[in-house]
Structure 1
Amino acid sequence: MEEIHGSEAPPIFGARELWWPSVSEFEKGAARNPRAFHELVGRPGKGFVMLARAEPAK
């Protein structure tokens, strides 16, 4: 990795992808266990959360 990032630490160490078939299913899943969802996305450190939408807008 040093040949790519030099002596600096890479900006991203790993990625976790979670998938739901629609935004409404994501909302239902997060609402079913908000504590678990917030624990997952609220972990300390350098992290990013992105919700990407692949379905057509209604």
Structure 2
Amino acid sequence: MSGTTPRHDRHHHHPEVHKVSGRWAWFCGCGSASCRTRLDPVPWHQVVVEALGHATTIAA
């Protein structure tokens, strides 16, 4: 090990898609998540598209 801590890219969003309680959702390190805006089940491909849309925004 080099003894250094990993750097986090604070200028871009990096959401991850996971299956939670039988539903697909995306979560981002900025605190945003699809499960906070929608309660109905959504197909996996739609969640991925939403996560990609979030990833294209520049973090403030």
Instruction: From the two aligned structures, give the one with the greater helix fraction.
Output: 1
Asked which structure has the greater CA Rg, the reply is 1
Instruction: From the two aligned structures, give the one with the greater strand fraction.
Output: 2
**TM-score if structure 2 supplies the norm length?**
0.23
Report which structure shows greater RCO (CA 8 Å, sep ≥6).
Answer: 2
